[in-house]
């Protein structure tokens, strides 16, 4: 009996719960929130076409215009000179940079000069007897012959007989042999071709130097060149002698250079042309990174905007009565961050900063700069 009563009560509770839930559902009202219309603010500017200079940016590292790689043409021991052969050492034009021990070779030169002197002495009696008219000039040459100085040039031979006589005694052969040895003796001393500084040294004092060995590098610190790559589009606009503004990497200093040379060949891989900009300044150093701004040309009836504002298909957003719209434009030059446009009517209100999610027909309001005056 008890189980029956409990079963009846359970069924009644379930039925009551179902009816109660249905009543709650029927009486529930759905409230839909009203969608608020969001009007975004845009930054704009009014178009005013004018002359836009096309500035082609380029960059590169400075290289000394006058530089010499020092190589040894002879073999010997590197001897110390008046200055240490170290990087950063400065030399004046004509000053000895490297001196190689040439004592053994100098002795062979003196031996050859002595042989030439003996040959000249041996022909003097024959010249006095057979050619008395030319004897005085050869006697004067012999008297001026100094073993410790550079061998002077032979006297001029005016007649064929004189030439045959001198050549037949082996004088010409000995003379040119001596001059060849003297010329090679000069290579044991390397002097500065211009005033400058050593930027690289590969040997030290006491090193045995071999022929063909690189010894170092010497540059002139007065004039530098900057090699830049310019698009072939502007190759016909660049001119030798044109002034160029150069800026350091940190924009701390600016320099003025000029285009000194332009390569006549277009690089097939990059389709660019090499231009060389000459610059002079005491603050410059070889290897410095500089950026060059080349004035290529000027575009008339054009404007310049940020590249992010140019849309696919060469279009930009404009504002017409607080509604966004698009117009077609003609880009004529692209830089890293800017683009030069044409065919934009004067007075057109264009977006000056990108707007996320912008679309045609979007309602916007133009940002107004409400600056207030403050008392000091």
pLDDT tens-place string over residues 272-291: 888 899 999 888 899 889 98
Q: Of the candidates 300, 301, 305, which has an alpha carbon nearest to the alpha carbon of residue 317?
A: 305
Helix (H) or strand (E) holding 364: strand 364-366
Q: Is the pLDDT of residue 269 over 90?
A: no
Q: Of the candidates 99, 284, 84, 289, which has an alpha carbon nearest to the alpha carbon of residue 198?
A: 84
Quickly state the pLDDT bin for 67 (edges 50, 70, 90): very high
What average pLDDT score do residues 264-273 get? 84
Q: Is the pLDDT of residue 10 over 80?
A: no
Query: Is the separation of the CB atoms in 256 and 245 below 8 Å?
Result: yes
Lowest mean pLDDT among 21-35, 94-108, 298-312, 323-337: 21-35
Map residue 41 onto helix, strand or coil: strand
What average pLDDT score do residues 147-156 get? 89
Show the domains of the chain with their CATH numbers.
44-53+300-366 (2.40.420), 55-64+221-297 (2.40.30.170), 68-95+193-219 (2.40.50), 104-186 (no CATH)
Question: Which residue pairs from 236-243 have beta carbons closer than 8 angstroms and sit at least 24 positions apart in sequence?
Answer: 237/296, 237/297, 238/262, 238/273, 238/275, 238/294, 238/296, 242/294, 242/295
The per-residue pLDDT for 223 is 93
Q: Of the candidates 297, 255, 264, 261, which has an alpha carbon nearest to the alpha carbon of residue 277?
A: 261
Average pLDDT, the chain: 85
Report which of residues 71 and 132 the model is more confident about.
71
- Region of 314 on the Ramachandran plot (φ > 0 left; ψ -120 to 50 alpha; else beta): left
Query: What percent of the chain has pLDDT above 90?
Result: 35
pLDDT tens readout for residues 91-118: 999 999 999 999 889 999 999 999 999 9
What average pLDDT score do residues 330-335 get? 84
Map residue 44 onto helix, strand or coil: strand
The per-residue pLDDT for 372 is 38
The per-residue pLDDT for 29 is 52
The reported pTM is 0.64
What average pLDDT score do residues 341-348 get? 90
Cα–Cα distances (Å) from 315 to 51, 249, 354, 360, in that order, read: 21, 34, 13, 12
Residue with tokens 């004046």: 92
* Dist. CA 302–CA 173, nearest whole Å: 78
Residue with tokens 């017409």: 320
b/e burial code for range 112-121 (CB count within 10 A of at least 16 → b)? bbeebbebbe
Burial (Cβ within 10 Å: 0-12, 13-18, ≥19) of residue 371? exposed
Q: Is the pLDDT of residue 375 over 60?
A: no
The per-residue pLDDT for 41 is 87
pLDDT tens readout for residues 161-214: 888 888 888 999 999 999 999 999 999 999 999 999 999 999 998 889 999 999
What average pLDDT score do residues 40-45 get? 88
The per-residue pLDDT for 213 is 94
Q: Is the pLDDT of residue 35 over 60?
A: no
The per-residue pLDDT for 30 is 52
Quickly state the pLDDT bin for 36 (edges 50, 70, 90): low
State the Rg of the chain over Cα: 45
Report which of residues 107 and 337 the model is more confident about.
107
Quickly state the pLDDT bin for 72 (edges 50, 70, 90): very high
Query: Is the separation of the CB atoms in 312 and 325 below 8 Å?
Result: no
Q: Is the pLDDT of residue 80 over 60?
A: yes
Quickly state the pLDDT bin for 370 (edges 50, 70, 90): low
Question: CA 335 from chain center: how many Å?
Answer: 19
The per-residue pLDDT for 65 is 92
Alpha helices in the chain (DSSP H): 2-27, 103-130, 135-143, 160-168, 171-185
The per-residue pLDDT for 241 is 86
Quickly state the pLDDT bin for 376 (edges 50, 70, 90): very low
What average pLDDT score do residues 80-84 get? 84
Q: Is the pLDDT of residue 374 over 80?
A: no
DSSP 363: B
Map residue 232 onto helix, strand or coil: helix
Map residue 240 onto helix, strand or coil: coil
* Dist. CA 264–CA 285, nearest whole Å: 28
The per-residue pLDDT for 34 is 57
Helix and strand element counts for the chain (H, E): 5, 22
Dihedral over Cα of 60, 62, 63, 65: its sign? positive
Lowest mean pLDDT among 283-292, 300-309, 312-321, 329-338: 329-338
The per-residue pLDDT for 229 is 85
């Amino acid at each position: 009996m008890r189980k029956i009563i409990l079963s009846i009560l359970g069924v009644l509770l379930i039925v009551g719960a179902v009816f109660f839930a249905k009543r709650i559902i029927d009486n529930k009202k759905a409230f839909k929130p009203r969608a608020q219309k969001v009007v975004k603010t845009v930054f704009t500017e009014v178009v005013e076409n004018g002359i836009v200079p096309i500035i082609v940016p380029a960059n590169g590292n400075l290289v000394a215009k006058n530089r010499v790689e020092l190589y040894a043409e002879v073999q010997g021991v590197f001897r110390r000179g008046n200055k240490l052969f170290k990087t950063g050492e400065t030399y004046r034009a004509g000053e000895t940079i490297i001196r190689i021990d040439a004592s053994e070779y100098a002795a062979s030169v003196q031996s050859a000069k002595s042989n030439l002197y003996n040959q000249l002495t041996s022909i003097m009696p024959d010249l006095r007897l057979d050619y008395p008219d030319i004897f005085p000039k050869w006697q004067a040459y012999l008297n001026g012959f100094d073993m410790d100085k550079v061998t002077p040039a032979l006297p001029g031979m005016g007649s064929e007989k004189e030439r045959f006589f001198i050549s037949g005694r082996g004088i010409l052969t000995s003379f040119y042999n001596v001059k060849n040895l003297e010329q090679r003796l000069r290579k044991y001393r390397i002097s500065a071709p211009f005033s400058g500084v050593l930027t690289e040294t590969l040997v030290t004092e006491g090193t045995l130097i071999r022929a063909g060995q690189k010894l170092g590098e010497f540059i002139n610190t007065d004039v530098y060149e900057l090699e830049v790559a310019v698009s072939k589009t502007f190759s016909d606009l660049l001119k030798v002698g044109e002034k160029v503004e150069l800026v350091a990497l940190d924009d701390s200093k600016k320099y003025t250079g000029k285009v000194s040379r332009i390569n006549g060949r277009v690089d097939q891989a990059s389709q660019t042309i090499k231009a060389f900009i000459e610059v002079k300044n005491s603050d410059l150093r070889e290897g410095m990174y500089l950026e060059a701004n080349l004035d290529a040309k000027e575009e008339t009836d054009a404007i310049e905007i940020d590249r992010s504002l140019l849309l696919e298909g060469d279009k930009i957003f404009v504002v017409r009565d607080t509604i966004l719209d698009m117009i077609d434009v003609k880009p004529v030059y692209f830089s890293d961050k800017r683009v030069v446009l044409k065919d934009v009517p004067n007075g057109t209100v264009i977006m000056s900063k990108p707007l996320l999610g912008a679309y045609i027909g979007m309602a916007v309001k133009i940002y107004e700069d409400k600056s207030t005056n403050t008392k000091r």
